Structure formats: structure tokens, C-alpha cells
Chains A and B, each alone.
Chain A
Amino acid sequence: MKITKLTIKNFRKFKDKTFEFSDGVNVVQGLNEAGKSTLSEAILTLLFADPTTKSKQFFDRYGSWDESGSIFLQAEGTSPLGKFQLTKDFGLKLAKLTNLDTKKETNDIKGVEASIGQLLGIKSVKVFESSAFVSQSDLARIESSEDLVASIQSAASAGGVEEGVGTVIKEIDRELAELKKGLDRPTNSPGKLKELEVKISETMQNLEDKKQKWEKVKSAANEGKSSKGELESVTEKISLVEKQIEYNRKFKEGSQKIKEIEQQIVRLERKMSEVSEISTQISNIRSQIENFKPLDSIDLEKTAKEVNELTGSIRAKKETIAKLEREEIVEAEKPDNPVFPRLLVPLFFLVVTIVLYILLSRLDILLTGLGITFVIGAYMFFNSQKGSAGKEGRKEVEMREKQLKEIIEQIGKESACLEKKFEEIKVRDSDEFYTKKAKLRGFLEERANLESLQKGMLEGKSLEQIKGEQAELFAKKKEVEVNELTEDVRNSNLTSEEYLRKRRELDTLKMEEKRLSELETASKVRVQDAEISIDDVVEEEELLERLNEEYSYYKKKRKVLELVRETIDQSIEGTAKDAGKIIKEFVKMYLARLTQDRYSDVKIEKNLSIQVFSKEKGDWIDPVSVLSKGTVDQIYFLTRLAILDLVAKDSNPPIILDDPFVTFDETRKETTKEILKEIGEKHQVILLTHHEEYNDWGNSVVI
């Protein structure tokens, strides 16, 4: 593509300027620095800027210096597709591309852009700038091999980083190294990845710890709960067994009590029956004694004494009588009367009386008999007395008879008394009395014995009382049966074997109780002392998750950096290959001429560094070290052109040179002029300079 005419209005210092260009090399002279840059910027703006832009920056930079009028740029040119006219009006915000041959108009911005791109073979201003646009500074920058490489790389990366890809690679490597620090080798200041790995592993460990501790707390609580539960059941069992043992004891006690009570009852029963038997006996005796009435109610001894006295007295008197009678008899016997026959009769009557008394037990008979006896006796006596001796004898006899009479009177009295007594006591005679008395005494004694025995048996209590006692005992027994020997108790009757077993069971249970209670206490303590709760676990888990997220972030970052690094390498390699090929062609084409045939071959390394073949040395060498700055510059210039062709291919866009050859000496300038002319056959070259020497380099363009 070639530009034939260029109109610039209200663009920086150009109020209204038109330039006309021809094919081949065009030299625009007479512009100062500002003018040169304005022209080149105008070309770039026309080719690439968006006329609808509202950017203040844009208008500040490119707007007319007198601040009036809007930017208007127009160019006419030729292309393989025909003649064209390109207009961009930044005031009306229009762009137009017209094919002057076909009259086809493109009015939309995008369409115009696309078409321009096609015409140029370059679609981006940056690419154009870095390839078709060579300035003084581009060449001036190259001082060393690194600069050369960097510059070529920059061109090869379409205006990329000026320090060269190498710097980029270094930076990326550094960043990667920073990230990976500590991963392979231990270090004091680990990179993020290692740092996080360590933190994560620590946190995971902490988490495990905390989880375990918490599990312990949980299980302690559980154990506490379960040992509490177990404890409760053991305690229950214990109380059950204890109850059984207790009941068994109660049963034995109760049974024992009952047994005792029963024994007591039996004893009482026996006593009572004995007492009752005695009572019966006593009663028998009583009834026997009844027979002895009224003897039982008198003072027997006194009566006996009296009777004794009386009978004794009577007997004594009788004996006295007898004595007296004997005396009488004796006296009477003195020669006298056979007393004996005379005594016989009264005696006989006496005997009969006594016998009758004995047989009939009649006191009256006795008394009668005695009276008769007496009378007879007296008669006899008196009869006998007729014959008795004189007065003395008769006085004795009288005395004796008086005595006798007294005695008999007394006897009579006493007998009567006796009789009365006997009557009172209902006995016939003293024999009966004594017999009865003896018997009665016997009975009374027996009764007394029995009574005292009974009393002894009763122990001072009455039979009622004892009955009462017995009733009480019955009641007590009942009470014991009801209250103490309940059903439960009854059912807990254990044999001694069973009892032993139960006791052993109890001991075992009590040990178990102790053990569980200790466990429970211990777990309670553990739970209380536990520092770890679920909250701690949760926090640790959250921390771990955060760390893992961060770690993923950095892992991703590493992946990205490694991919970038790898791909950059590959890209450089590829670019070096393709660009290298064409650069090689280009440079090789002109190198011999540029170096007076000293170096004719060039090769491009993987990193786009150039090496030239020294015929002299017979080896490849770094050009910067051997070639002059000027030559190196030229080589760089050629690489730029090579890259342009690489990108634009057959579009052959115009090359704009902003006084790049200022530092060249004459000779170099000559060679460059020639090369440029050759290049000019393909590309339109617009050389901007404010030096005079370039007059014969090509078409002079007048401002």
C-alpha cells in the first residue's frame, strides 16, 4: 500500500497541510522535531485512531495548537485493490474509505478499520509502530548485545516490553522462585506455598488433636452418663440384695419372735392349765372341806386346845374320880364290902355308855350313861359305906363324896361345855373331832399348799391377768405376723447357703459400685476440666478451610506462572524460528554489503539473538562485540524490516523512518541509501529528517 497524498488539518501545529508522496523513498525535509513527530503521529492517527473518540487525552495531545477547528485527516493512496481515499473527521466523528476505482464507500468505523487493516496488512497501531516505524531512539538504544536482543525481541513481540523478554522471564522466574521457596530445601523465609503447607499441616494436626480431645470429652460425658447409668443399676441391685438380706433377717427374727411368743403362750397355756388343775383340786378339796363344816370356819387349834383341855380336864377328873373311887374301893375293901362287885356295875354301865357312844355317837347317851353310871356308882358307894368305918371314915367318905360331887359337877359342866362345843362343831365326840380335825387339817394344809403353789404359779397375778397376757401375746404374734412377716419378707426366706451366696453377691456389687462411682467422678472431673469444646473444633476447622482456600489460590498462581513461563519459552522458540528465518534472509541479503564482505552469514538464536559468521575467525560471533555500532544499527534496522514483512506479508505497508540514520557516517549512509532504494522497490519509504544530506535519497517532499 502506498500513500500518494496526505492532508492534515487542525492537527497540532499543522493547521492545513498537504503532503504528496511518490513510490519508493520519499524524503521529507525541513521539519523540526515537533514537525517530524506531528507528521508521523498524523499518519498513525489517520490509519488507526477512532474518529468517534471523546478522549480528552487524545484532543489534548493531537488537537490544534491554536485550539480552533477539529481534526481532519485525509489520505489518498494506491493498493493492489485499487486507488483509495481515506478520510477521518474527528469533529464530525466520521470515517470514510472510498475505493476511487470502484467508487465503493465504507462509512462505518468498524468497516473502515477492517479495510485499513487489510490494506496495511497490520491491524494494530502498536504492531505498526514497532515494525513499520523506525525512529532514532530505536537504534540509539542498542548499546550491547543484550540491547540488541532486547530490541529485536521487542520488535518480535510487537512492541512488547522494551527491556526484552529476558527481563520478563527473569521476573516470572523470580516470582515463581519466591512462591516455591522452601518447597525443595529448608529455608528461613519460606515462600507462600511452603508457609501455607506448614500452616495447614499444623492446623490439621491441631484439629486432629482437638477433635480427639473433644471425642474424649464426649466419651467422658458418655462414660459418665453410662457409668452413671451402670452405677444406678448397680445401686438398685445392691438395694435389692440388701433388701433380700434384710427381709431374710426380718423373717428369721420375726419367726424367732413368733416362736418365742408361741413358747410363752404355750408356757402360759400350760401354767394356766396347771393352775386350772390346781383350782380343780382346790375346788375338790374345798368341797371336801365343805363336808367338815362348820369346822372349817373355826379356829381349830383353839378349839382343839379347848377340847383338849376339856377332855383332859375331864379325863383328869375322871381319873381323880377313879382314884377316889379306887380309894373308896380300897377302903371298902378293907375288910368290907367287896368293892369290886360293887364297882363292876357302874363300870359296866360306863363301858356300855362308851360303847354306845362309840356305836351311836350320841352324846346324850354318853351323858345319860355317865349319869347312870354315876348314880349307880354313888349308890354302890353309899351302900358300901354302911358298912364302912366310923366317922372318920365317913368324913373322908363325905369329903370324898363332896369332892366327887364337885368333880362330877365340874365334869358335868365341862362335859356340857364339851357337848356344846361338839354340837357347835357338829362332831359327836372328841375322837371324831380329832379325826375330823386331823383330816380337815390335812385338807386345809393341802389346800393351803395347793393355793400357795397356785399363787406361786400365778406369780401374784390373777388368772384374768394371765389370760390377758396370753391374749396380748396372741395379739403380739398376730402383729408380728402381719407387720413383720409380710409377703415380701416371707418370700425372702433364705437357706444358709443362699444367704452366703447373697452376701458374696452383695460384696461384689459393692465393689462394682465403688469402681463405677470412682469412674463417674473421674469423668465428671475430666469433663469439667476439659478445655476443648466443639467451638474450638469448629474454629479450627474454619481456619483449616481458610488456609486451604488460600493454598489453592497460590497453587493456582503457581500453575499459571509455570504455564506462562513454559508458553513464553515455546513462543520465543517459535517466533525465533519464523522471525529468525526471515531476519536471516533479510540480513544475509545485505550483510555482506554492510560489512564489506567481512560477514556474510547470520543466524538467529533461540532467544532471537543474532550471531554473524566471521570469515576471518571462521566461527560465529556476537556482532555487537565485533561490528561497529553503525553496522549493528543497520543490522537491527534490517531485522525490523524483516519483522515487518513477516507480519504484513504481501501488503507492503509504507515504512516511516524518523531520522534513524543520524549517527551513520558517510560510508554507512551510502550503503544504507542503496539498501533503502532497494527496499523502496517493495515498500514505500517515508524518511523524515531535518538534515540536508538526504536530498538524493529519494523524492523530496516539500512541506
Chain B
Amino acid sequence: MIKILHTSDIHIGAKLSYLKDKSNVQRDQIRQTFEKVVDVAIEKKVDLVAISGDLFDNPFPSKISINFVKSQLEKLAKALIKVAIIAGNHDRLEPGSVFLSDEFCGDSSNIHIFTPENGSIWIVEDLDLTVYGVSAVLQKSRKSPLSEIKINEKAKTKNSVALIHGSVNMAGREADNYPIDVKLLESLPVEYVALGDWHSRLEVVKDKVWYSGSPELIDSDQKGSGNVLLIEIDSGTRVIPLRVGKREVIVQEVDLGKYENLSSLQKDILLDAHENLIKLVSIKGKKSLSFDLDKEELEDTMRGKFFYLKIADESHLELTQEELDKYPQELLIGRYIKLLRENEVEDKEIIDEAIQYGVKKLSGTQKN
């Protein structure tokens, strides 16, 4: 039986702007999770680690990143685990890029990086396994990476697997960058295809073609990240997902109408809070004049309960009848509100804020 650990899209060094001042922490976590992946591979005594692209976020990563990865790969080498790597469109094979440099060249016979020079076939004799792999050379390409794979019928090993980086045409997703046809994957004469590029784990062809997804969360829209795949190839192929990621992400949409006051809203947001949760809340719906939604204040209050919390206020102001009654249009505040509601120049957001702010000030309910 051959055991393979499939991972991809680690994106070491990636920019994580949306996490603001926590971006460095998460970048560090990405590295730590990669270390965990290596530890898992060693613990599970796999024969081969397949990295299907985008190990680095950039073709020219920093020395620190490179040295870190090298030390991890050394751990695998020590444990006599082989490693197959293809370049993704982020750490693509540009002239002078990391995978073409001396850093990784001919490290040891246990690491194989697929380049146009050494072709798309790696025959691992001690495992009786053929590994096919295609590295990306451009950031964007309309060319299918499958065209680079030359299936070697003659040198028949017992098993064969393929590492490909690209996007698949399926389930409402556009195969835009390095497109791969699912049907061609189905007919590939290999036991398993390790795909890379998409950050969420996904089974593309049952028990045969999978995206492992990123082992650690990178973007907020990837709920399916945080996994690696353990592949066991025996008489058939078995795919076992393993969770390795630390952070979770929840994107929550909140309808303001459901909440009477700020504290009940707060309670709802805090419901599933934990220190490794990244929560992006978007507040929608109508808010009345008196519903004082200061999203900054809200964030500040609840921030500590999450790894990262962001609240976006997409609600819009709708004065209740009571509120409108309170401010007759003949008088100052009523007139003020009327003027703003009739304002067609500014953005609704600005108008809403001006109404709330102005009324607060003019009615003396906020001495600011």
C-alpha cells in the first residue's frame, strides 16, 4: 500500500490585509500549520508528500521563508519520506524564481520538483510509483496543464499519481486559470490526481481527483480550508481528510430587524466566539434613528473574544413613524431630517450617518 499526503496552496508569505494587525500572526500560523502538516506526514508514516502548487505566495520568497521550508523538507528527508512538488501560478517557474534556483536544486533524491527541464515524469522505483507533475510558468494561462502530461505507457509501475495545478470546470465554477477538463481527469490512467489552486477541500471525481485545499485559512471566503488529504492506494484508492488548520472563519449576515437593541445583537454575534475564529459580520436591514449602531464600538467591545472580528454596517436608516412624529417638519430637527432625506447628492450611507449624528446633536441626546 502506498500512503500519500496531499496538500497544496499553503501560500507562505501571503498578504492578509483583511486581518489588519493580526495579519502577521496568521502568516506565522500558516507556517506553523505547514510544520504540522510535515509532522502529520511523519506521524502517519506516509511514503510521499505531494504538494500541488502555491507552496509559496511568490516566485521570489524571502530567505526566511525559503529556509523555513527547507528545514521542513529536511525533516521529511530524515524520515525517508519522498516529496513531489509542482509550482503553482503564485510560485511559478519564472527565471530566477525559487524553484529554479540553487536553493532547491538537487537537494536529495527524495525531493522532486517538476520543471520543464526534468520533464513531467518521476519514477520512484522504491515505491513502484510513477508521479506525473506539471508546474506553472505563468500567473495566468488559458492553456490546460494536462497537455504537458505525457503518460508513459511503457515504464509501467504498479501505481501512478498526478499533481496538477489549475481550475476545474465544475459546479458553477469557471475554469479560468490553467483550465482542466474534468472528463479528461476522469480518464487519466492514474490512481489519484492531486489538484491544487482552490483553497477549499473538494472532491472533484469520486475517490480519484481532489483539491486538498489550503491547510491553513488564507482568505475569508474559504470555509473548506484547513485540511490535508491522506491517500491510501491499495487495490483501490481511499481518501481521508485530516484537519490541520487552526483558524476557522464564519461569515455572518445579520438582519437588524430581528434585534430590539444593541445588546441582543451583540449576544448573537458572540454566540460562537472562540479565540481561533475569524468572524466577518455584515449587518443588513433597517435601523431606526434611535438604534445607535456604532460598529467601531461594537467591534472594540467584542474583539477580544475572537481571533479577528470585523463588522460591516450595511444597514440603512429608516425612521420609525414615532421618530418622525417626534420631529415635526416645521421645526428645526424635523426640517433637518427632511432636508437630508431629500438630498440626492451624497451617498445614502453618508446621509444616514448625517441624519443620526445631526439629530443626536440637535436633540441633545449626545454631548459629543
| Chain B residue contacts of A546, Cβ below 8 A | 17, 20-21
DSSP majority for the A interface? helix
| Chain A residue contacts of B326, Cβ below 8 A | 123-124, 126-127, 158
Which B residues between 328 and 354 are near A, CB-CB below 8 angstroms? Answer: 328, 330-336, 339-340, 343, 346, 349-351, 353-354
* A158 engages B331 (CB within 8 Å): yes
Instruction: Name the contact of A157 in the complex, choosing from B65, B343, B362 (C-beta under 8 A).
Output: B362
Q: Given A222-B96, A563-B354 in contact, is the A643-B362 Cβ separation under 8 Å? A: no
CA–CA, A124 and B95, complex, Å: 74
* B332 engages A575 (CB within 8 Å): yes
* A560 engages B13 (CB within 8 Å): no
Asked if B236 CB lies within 8 Å of chain A CBs, one says: no
CA–CA, A581 and B23, complex, Å: 61
Which A residues between 557 and 605 are near B, CB-CB below 8 angstroms? Answer: 559-561, 563-564, 567-568, 570-572, 574-575, 578-579
Asked if B305 CB lies within 8 Å of chain A CBs, one says: no
Instruction: Name the contact of B354 in the complex, choosing from A156, A225, A560 (C-beta under 8 A).
Output: A560
* A533 engages B62 (CB within 8 Å): yes
Asked if B117 CB lies within 8 Å of chain A CBs, one says: no
Least Cβ–Cβ distance between A338 and chain B, in angstroms: 138
Least Cβ–Cβ distance between A659 and chain B, in angstroms: 24
| Chain B residue contacts of A578, Cβ below 8 A | 330
* A221 engages B362 (CB within 8 Å): no
Q: How many residues of A contact B (CB 8 A)?
A: 55
* A556 engages B350 (CB within 8 Å): yes
| Chain A residue contacts of B332, Cβ below 8 A | 153, 156-158, 160, 165, 571-572, 575
In the complex, which residue of chain A has the Cβ closest to the Cβ of B12?
A535
Which B residues between 257 and 292 are near A, CB-CB below 8 angstroms? Answer: none
* B339 engages A571 (CB within 8 Å): yes
Instruction: Name the contact of B96 in the complex, choosing from A153, A159, A161, A218 (C-beta under 8 A).
Output: A218
CA–CA, A563 and B361, complex, Å: 13
Asked if A622 CB lies within 8 Å of chain B CBs, one says: no
Asked if A168 CB lies within 8 Å of chain B CBs, one says: yes
Instruction: Name the contact of A542 in the complex, choosing from B15, B101, B334, B362 (C-beta under 8 A).
Output: B15
* A156 engages B101 (CB within 8 Å): no
| Chain A residue contacts of B354, Cβ below 8 A | 560, 563-564, 567
Flag A191-233 by CB within 8 Å of B: 1 or 0 each. 0000000000000000000000010011001101110000000
In the complex, which residue of chain A has the Cβ closest to the Cβ of B100?
A225
Q: Given A535-B64, A538-B15, A560-B357 in contact, is the A568-B96 Cβ separation under 8 Å? A: no
Which A residues between 280 and 298 are near B, CB-CB below 8 angstroms? Answer: none
Asked if A314 CB lies within 8 Å of chain B CBs, one says: no
CA–CA, A423 and B89, complex, Å: 122
CA–CA, A217 and B97, complex, Å: 11
Flag B316-336 by CB within 8 Å of A: 1 or 0 each. 000000100111101111111
| Chain A residue contacts of B334, Cβ below 8 A | 158
* A563 engages B350 (CB within 8 Å): yes
* B61 engages A159 (CB within 8 Å): no
In the complex, which residue of chain A has the Cβ closest to the Cβ of B353?
A560
Asked if B224 CB lies within 8 Å of chain A CBs, one says: no
Least Cβ–Cβ distance between A107 and chain B, in angstroms: 19
| Chain B residue contacts of A675, Cβ below 8 A | none
| Chain B residue contacts of A432, Cβ below 8 A | none
How many residue pairs link A and B with beta carbons under 8 A? The number is: 152
Least Cβ–Cβ distance between A212 and chain B, in angstroms: 14
Asked if A545 CB lies within 8 Å of chain B CBs, one says: yes
Asked if B60 CB lies within 8 Å of chain A CBs, one says: yes
In the complex, which residue of chain B has the Cβ closest to the Cβ of A572?
B332
| Chain B residue contacts of A234, Cβ below 8 A | none
Asked if A333 CB lies within 8 Å of chain B CBs, one says: no
* B328 engages A158 (CB within 8 Å): yes
Asked if A105 CB lies within 8 Å of chain B CBs, one says: no
| Chain A residue contacts of B179, Cβ below 8 A | none
Asked if A172 CB lies within 8 Å of chain B CBs, one says: yes
Instruction: Name the contact of B358 in the complex, choosing from A123, A536, A545, A564 (C-beta under 8 A).
Output: A564
Asked if A162 CB lies within 8 Å of chain B CBs, one says: yes
CA–CA, A373 and B368, complex, Å: 189
| Chain A residue contacts of B60, Cβ below 8 A | 214, 217-218, 221, 534
Asked if B364 CB lies within 8 Å of chain A CBs, one says: yes
CA–CA, A572 and B336, complex, Å: 8
Asked if A41 CB lies within 8 Å of chain B CBs, one says: no
CA–CA, A175 and B364, complex, Å: 16
Asked if B16 CB lies within 8 Å of chain A CBs, one says: yes
Q: Given A123-B326, A546-B21, A572-B332 in contact, is the A161-B364 Cβ separation under 8 Å? A: yes
In the complex, which residue of chain B has the Cβ closest to the Cβ of A577?
B335
Asked if A146 CB lies within 8 Å of chain B CBs, one says: no
Least Cβ–Cβ distance between A52 and chain B, in angstroms: 14
Asked if A117 CB lies within 8 Å of chain B CBs, one says: yes
* B363 engages A647 (CB within 8 Å): no
Asked if A406 CB lies within 8 Å of chain B CBs, one says: no
| Chain B residue contacts of A172, Cβ below 8 A | 361
| Chain B residue contacts of A564, Cβ below 8 A | 354, 357-358, 361
Q: Given A560-B350, A572-B332 in contact, is the A221-B101 Cβ separation under 8 Å? A: yes
| Chain A residue contacts of B340, Cβ below 8 A | 563, 567
Asked if B169 CB lies within 8 Å of chain A CBs, one says: no
Least Cβ–Cβ distance between B278 and chain A, in angstroms: 16
| Chain B residue contacts of A214, Cβ below 8 A | 60
Instruction: Name the contact of B362 in the complex, choosing from A123, A124, A168, A226 (C-beta under 8 A).
Output: A168
CA–CA, A567 and B352, complex, Å: 13
| Chain B residue contacts of A165, Cβ below 8 A | 332, 362
Asked if A171 CB lies within 8 Å of chain B CBs, one says: yes
* B96 engages A224 (CB within 8 Å): yes
Asked if B24 CB lies within 8 Å of chain A CBs, one says: yes
CA–CA, A214 and B335, complex, Å: 58
Instruction: Name the contact of B363 in the complex, choosing from A159, A222, A646 (C-beta under 8 A).
Output: A159
* A541 engages B17 (CB within 8 Å): yes
* A161 engages B361 (CB within 8 Å): yes
| Chain A residue contacts of B327, Cβ below 8 A | 124, 127, 158
Asked if A122 CB lies within 8 Å of chain B CBs, one says: yes
CA–CA, A224 and B62, complex, Å: 17
CA–CA, A159 and B361, complex, Å: 12
In the complex, which residue of chain A has the Cβ closest to the Cβ of B60?
A218
In the complex, which residue of chain A has the Cβ closest to the Cβ of B15?
A538
Asked if A539 CB lies within 8 Å of chain B CBs, one says: yes
Asked if B63 CB lies within 8 Å of chain A CBs, one says: yes
CA–CA, A647 and B100, complex, Å: 80
* B335 engages A571 (CB within 8 Å): yes
* A571 engages B58 (CB within 8 Å): no
Select the residue from B14, B24, B354 with max chain A CB neighbours within 10 A. Answer: B354
| Chain A residue contacts of B339, Cβ below 8 A | 567, 570-571, 574
* B364 engages A225 (CB within 8 Å): no
Instruction: Name the contact of A567 in the complex, choosing from B63, B330, B336 (C-beta under 8 A).
Output: B336
| Chain A residue contacts of B14, Cβ below 8 A | 538
| Chain B residue contacts of A161, Cβ below 8 A | 361-364
CA–CA, A175 and B368, complex, Å: 9
In the complex, which residue of chain B has the Cβ closest to the Cβ of A159?
B363
Q: Given A127-B328, A157-B362, A647-B328 in contact, is the A563-B346 Cβ separation under 8 Å? A: yes
Which A residues between 536 and 556 are near B, CB-CB below 8 angstroms? Answer: 536, 538-539, 541-542, 545-546, 556
Query: Mind listing 20 A-B residue pairs with CB under 8 Å?
Result: A157-B362, A158-B332, A165-B362, A175-B368, A225-B100, A226-B95, A534-B62, A535-B64, A538-B13, A538-B57, A556-B350, A563-B343, A567-B358, A568-B336, A570-B339, A571-B335, A579-B330, A643-B331, A646-B331, A647-B328
7 A-B pairs with least C-beta separation: A533-B62, A123-B325, A161-B364, A157-B332, A124-B326, A222-B96, A571-B336
Residues of chain B having any CB pair with chain A under 8 Å = 13-17, 20-21, 23-24, 57-58, 60-65, 95-96, 100-101, 322, 325-328, 330-336, 339-340, 343, 346, 349-351, 353-354, 357-358, 361-364, 368
Q: A225-B101, A563-B340, A568-B336 are in contact. List 18 more A-B contacts (CB 8 A).
A: A126-B363, A127-B325, A157-B331, A158-B334, A160-B333, A161-B362, A218-B96, A225-B95, A535-B61, A535-B62, A535-B65, A541-B15, A542-B15, A542-B16, A560-B357, A567-B339, A574-B339, A646-B331
